[in-house]
Structure 1
Amino acid sequence: MGNSLGVTFPKEVLDHLGIQHGDEVKFDLQNGSVDIKKKAQLKLPKGVDADFLEQMNDMMTEYDDTFKGLVNR
C-alpha cells in the first residue's frame, strides 16, 4: 500500500456507512478523532475538475474561522 498502512473494518461498520468494494472513502481529522465517510459521488459539469473543488473545500474548511474574522474588517 505504498507508504500507507492497510486497515480492515467489520462488515457491520461498512454496511452502516454504505461503503462497498471500490468506493472512495473520506477521512476528516479533527481534534484527535477521525470521521470516516463514503465519498460523495458528484456529477460535475464538463470542464470542472473534482480534485480542484476538493482542495478548495479543504481550504475553506481549514480557514473557515479566518474567513469569518475578515467579514468585520
Structure 2
Amino acid sequence: MSKVSDMERKVTKFGNSLGITMTDALKQIGLEQGDTVQIDVNQDHGEIVIKKANKVALPEGISNDFFDQLSEVMSEYDQTLKGLKDR
C-alpha cells in the first residue's frame, strides 16, 4: 500500500515565476533534477497533479516527431478514445 504524504507549502516568487519547493515529495516518487514530469491541471477542483513521466525508447526506424503527431491526434480525439475504452 502506498504512503500518502500531506504537505503544506507557500507559493514563492522565483525570478519572474511563481513556484513551490517540494524536494521531499519529489524524492518520494523517485524524481531527480533533469527528470521529465507530466502535469495535469483540474481547474474545477483546484488541483494540480504531477506525475513522473514514463521514459519511452523509440524502436529503430520511428522518427522523433511521431509522438508529437500522435499526441496531437490523441488530444483532438480524447473524448472519443475515452469512450472506446469504456465500451
Measured against the shorter chain, the TM-score band is 0.5 to 0.7
Structure 2 counterpart of 1:18? 30
TM-score (norm. length: structure 2)? 0.50
Unaligned residue ranges in structure 1 (runs of 5+):
none
Count of matched residue pairs: 66
Runs of 4 or more consecutive aligned structure 1 residues displaced over 6 Å after TM superposition = none
Which structure has greater strand proportion? 2
Structure 2 counterpart of 1:7? 19
Unaligned residue ranges in structure 2 (runs of 5+):
1-15
Name the % identity.
30
**10-19 or 25-34, which deviates more:** 25-34
Structure 2 counterpart of 1:63? 77
TM-score (norm. length: structure 1)? 0.56
Of the two structures, which has the highest relative contact order with CA contacts closer than 8 Å and spacing of 6 or more? 1
- Pairwise CA distance, 1:21: 0.8
Which structure has greater helix proportion? 1
Structure 1 counterpart of 2:50? 36
Distance 1:6 1:46, change over 3 A: farther
